[in-house]
C-alpha cells in the first residue's frame, strides 16, 4: 500500500500543480454552460425563415396557410401563393418551381401542392417538394401549420366564431413554480451529462498518456526494480482519479454557491436549486465508477501502445460506448422510464452517463440504481483483471504494436 500511495501522490501532485488543471477547471464548465444554455436560448428564439411557394386552387386555404407560416409561434417564413386554374396550368407552374429548386441561384426552399379533396368532408392531399431532402425542420413547421389551419376550418364549419377559435387554440401556460423552471432544470441535467462525458474521457485518456510518457522515457524500467506492476497501475489510476474528483468537487461547490445567488433564483424560481444535492451526490458517485471503468481500459491501451499516434488509433474502444450514450440520450429525454431507457442505463459502460441523466429527469427505482452500481463493480473487477495482466507485460514491450494473438499470450503468461 505504501508504494501505491507514493505513485498516487506523485500522479496527483504532478497534475494538480499545472496551469492546465486550473484552466480546465475554469473553462470546461464555463464552455459547457455557454454551449448548453446558449444553444437552448438561441433555439427558443430562432424562427424558421424558409421561402416557400403554395400551389392550390383553394385561395382561402392558401391565404390562411400563408398567414400561419408567416406569423406562427416558431415560423417567420416568406410565402408565395400560386393559384392553379387547370391541370395543364398546374403542371406548367410546377415545372417552373422545379427549375427554381434545381438552380443554384434559386431562392425557394421548397413548394407545397394542395390537391382538393374529391369528397365534401374529406381532407385535401398535400405534396411537398423541398430543395434538400434533409430539411426536416421546414417540413415539421409546414405540417404543424397545415394542422392548425385545418383545425380552424373545421371549427368554423361547426359554427364557432373567430374569437372563440382564437381562444381555444391559444398557447397554454403551465405553472411549474412549485418545482421550479422545467427548462432550466433540464438544461442543468444536460450540462451534467456533458460534464460527465468530458471528465470521464479526459481523465481516462490522461491515464493512458501517463503510461506512454513513462514508457517513452524508460522510467518504468527503473521503477519496476522496486515496485510491482500491479502497484504501479493502482497508483496511477488512484492518482489520476483523485485529480478528477478534486476537479469535480470544485465544480459542484461552485454550482452550489452559484445556485444560491439571485441570478440563479431568478432563472429557476425562488426556493429551488439549479442543481440539487441529490444530483451532486450521484454525479460524484457515477463519476468515480465511470472513471474506474474507462481508466482501466485506457491503462491497458496505454500499455499496448508506444506512442500517442498508436493510442489515437485505439481510441475507438473509449469513444464508441460514449458515442452510444449520446445517441441514447434522445430516447431517454422522450421516455426516461421506457424499457429501452432502463436497459441501456443498466449497461455498465453507459450507466455513468445515462443512469445519472435519468436520475436528473425522473424518479428512478432504487433497485435500478443499486443494480447499476453492482454491475459496474463487477465490470470494473473484470476489466482490472484483464488490464493488469496486459499492463504487466505491455509496459516493457517496445517496437511493433501487438496483435490480438500476442495480447492473448500476454494474458496467459501473466
What pLDDT, on the 0 to 100 scale, is given for residue 262? 63
Q: How confident is the model at residue 410 (pLDDT cuts 50, 70, 90)?
A: low
Mean pLDDT to the nearest integer, 374-391: 84
DSSP state of 285: H
**Distance, CA of 365 to CA of 358 (rounded, Å):** 11
- Which of 198-202, 284-288, 388-392, 393-397 is most confident? 284-288
> Are the beta carbons of 272 and 180 closer than 8 angstroms?
yes
Query: Secondary structure of the chain: what % helix, strand, coil (to 5)?
Result: 70, 5, 25
- Half-sphere CA count of 235, side-chain side, radius 13 A: 21
- pLDDT, residue 229, reads 72
Query: Strand, coil or helix: what is 19?
Result: helix
Residue 236 has pLDDT above 80, yes or no: no
User: Is residue 367 very low, low, confident or very high in pLDDT (cuts 50, 70, 90)?
Assistant: very high
Angle at the Cα of 45 (from 43 to 50), degrees rounded to 5?
85
The stretch 297-308 carries a mean pLDDT of: 77
Residue 36 has which C-alpha cell? 448548453
The pTM score is 0.71
Mean pLDDT of 335-360: 89
Say whether 303 sits in a helix, a strand or coil.
helix
Going by pLDDT thresholds of 50, 70 and 90, the confidence category of residue 29 is: confident
Q: Which residue has the higher pLDDT, 150 or 24?
A: 150
Exposure letters 369-407 (e unless 16+ CB within 10 A, then b): beebeebbeebbeebbeebbbbbbbbbebeeeebeeeeb
Give the mean pLDDT of 217-227: 68
pLDDT 10s digits, 107-151:
888 899 888 877 777 788 888 988 887 888 888 888 988 998 888
Average pLDDT over residues 205-212: 78
Q: Which residue has the higher pLDDT, 249 or 218?
A: 249
- CA-nearest of 116, 127, 121 to 57 is 116
Under 8 Å CB-to-CB from 58, ≥6 apart: which residues?
114, 116, 124
Residue 80 has phi, psi (to 5 degrees) of -105, 130
Q: Which three cell numbers stand for residue 267?
A: 432563472
Q: Where are the beta strands (DSSP E) in 8-144?
A: 51-56, 78-83, 110-115, 125-130
For the stretch 56-72, pLDDT in tens is 888 888 888 888 888 87
Residue 168 has pLDDT above 90, yes or no: no
Residue 318 pLDDT? 81
The per-residue pLDDT for 368 is: 92
Q: 3-state DSSP call for residue 338?
A: coil
Give, in degrees to the nearest 5, the angle at Cα 233 between 229 and 237: 170
Average pLDDT over residues 35-59: 78
Contact indicator for 248, 199 with CB cutoff of 8 Å: yes
pLDDT at residue number 6: 80
Give yes or no for a contact between 135 and 79, defined as CB atoms under 8 angstroms apart: no
Q: pLDDT category, 218, cuts 50, 70, 90?
A: low
pLDDT of residue 87: 74
pLDDT value at position 265?
60
Which residue, among 58, 77, 56, has the nearest Cα to 66 in the 3D structure?
A: 77
Contact 226, 328 (CB under 8 A): no
* pLDDT reported for residue 369: 92
Name the average pLDDT for the chain.
80
Check residue 200 and give its pLDDT.
Answer: 84
Calculate the alpha carbon distances from 271 to 176, 177, 189, 191, 241 in Å: 13, 9, 18, 21, 34
Listed in sequence order, the residues at least 6 apart from 53 whose beta carbon sits closer than 8 Å to its beta carbon are: 79, 80, 81, 82, 97, 108, 110, 111, 112
CA 293 from centroid of its chain's CA atoms: 20
Which of the four pLDDT bands, split at 50, 70 and 90, describes residue 371?
very high
Residues 176 and 182: beta-carbon distance below 8 Å: yes
pLDDT tens-digit series, residues 198-207: 888 888 887 7
Amino acid at each position: 500500500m505504501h508504494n501505491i500511495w507514493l505513485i498516487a501522490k506523485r500522479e496527483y501532485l504532478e497534475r494538480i500543480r499545472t496551469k492546465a488543471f486550473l484552466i480546465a477547471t475554469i473553462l470546461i464548465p464555463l464552455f459547457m454552460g455557454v454551449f448548453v444554455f446558449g444553444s437552448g436560448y438561441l433555439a427558443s428564439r430562432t424562427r424558421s425563415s424558409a421561402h416557400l411557394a403554395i400551389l392550390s386552387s383553394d385561395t382561402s386555404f392558401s391565404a390562411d396557410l400563408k398567414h400561419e407560416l408567416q406569423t406562427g409561434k416558431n415560423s417567420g417564413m416568406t410565402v408565395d401563393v400560386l393559384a392553379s386554374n387547370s391541370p395543364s396550368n398546374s403542371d406548367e407552374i410546377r415545372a417552373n418551381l422545379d427549375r427554381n429548386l434545381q438552380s443554384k441561384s434559386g431562392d425557394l426552399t421548397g413548394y407545397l401542392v394542395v390537391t382538393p379533396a374529391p369528397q365534401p368532408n374529406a381532407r385535401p392531399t398535400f405534396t411537398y417538394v423541398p430543395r434538400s431532402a434533409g430539411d426536416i425542420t421546414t417540413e415539421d413547421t409546414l405540417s404543424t401549420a397545415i394542422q392548425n389551419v385545418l383545425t380552424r376550418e373545421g371549427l368554423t364549419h361547426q359554427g364557432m366564431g373567430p374569437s372563440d377559435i382564437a381562444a381555444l387554440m391559444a398557447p397554454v401556460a403551465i405553472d411549474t413554480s412549485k418545482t421550479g423552471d422545467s427548462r432550466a432544470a433540464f438544461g442543468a441535467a444536460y450540462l451534467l451529462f456533458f460534464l460527465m462525458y468530458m471528465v470521464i474521457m479526459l481523465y481516462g485518456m490522461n491515464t493512458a498518456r501517463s503510461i506512454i510518457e513513462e514508457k517513452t522515457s524508460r522510467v518504468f524500467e527503473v521503477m519496476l526494480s522496486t515496485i510491482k506492476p500491479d502497484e504501479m497501475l493502482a497508483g496511477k489510476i488512484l492518482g489520476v482519479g483523485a485529480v478528477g474528483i478534486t476537479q469535480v468537487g470544485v465544480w459542484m461547490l461552485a454550482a452550489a454557491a452559484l445556485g444560491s445567488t439571485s441570478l440563479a433564483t431568478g432563472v429557476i424560481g425562488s426556493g429551488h436549486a439549479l442543481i440539487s444535492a441529490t444530483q451532486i451526490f450521484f454525479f460524484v458517485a457515477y463519476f468515480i465508477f465511470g472513471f474506474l471503468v474507462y481508466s482501466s481500459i485506457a491503462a491497458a491501451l496505454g500499455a499496448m501502445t508506444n506512442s500517442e499516434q498508436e493510442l489515437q488509433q485505439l481510441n475507438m474502444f473509449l469513444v464508441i460506448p460514449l458515442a452510444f450514450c449520446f445517441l441514447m440520450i434522445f430516447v431517454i429525454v422522450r421516455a426516461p422510464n421506457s424499457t429501452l431507457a432502463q436497459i441501456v442505463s443498466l449497461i455498465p459502460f453507459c450507466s455513468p452517463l445515462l443512469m445519472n441523466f435519468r436520475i436528473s429527469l425522473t424518479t428512478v427505482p432504487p433497485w435500478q440504481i443499486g443494480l447499476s452500481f453492482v454491475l459496474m463493480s463487477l465490470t470494473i473487477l473484470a476489466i482490472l483483471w484483464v488490464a493488469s495482466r496486459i499492463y504487466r507485460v505491455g509496459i516493457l514491450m517496445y517496437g511493433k504494436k501487438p496483435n490480438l494473438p500476442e495480447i492473448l499470450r500476454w494474458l496467459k503468461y501473466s
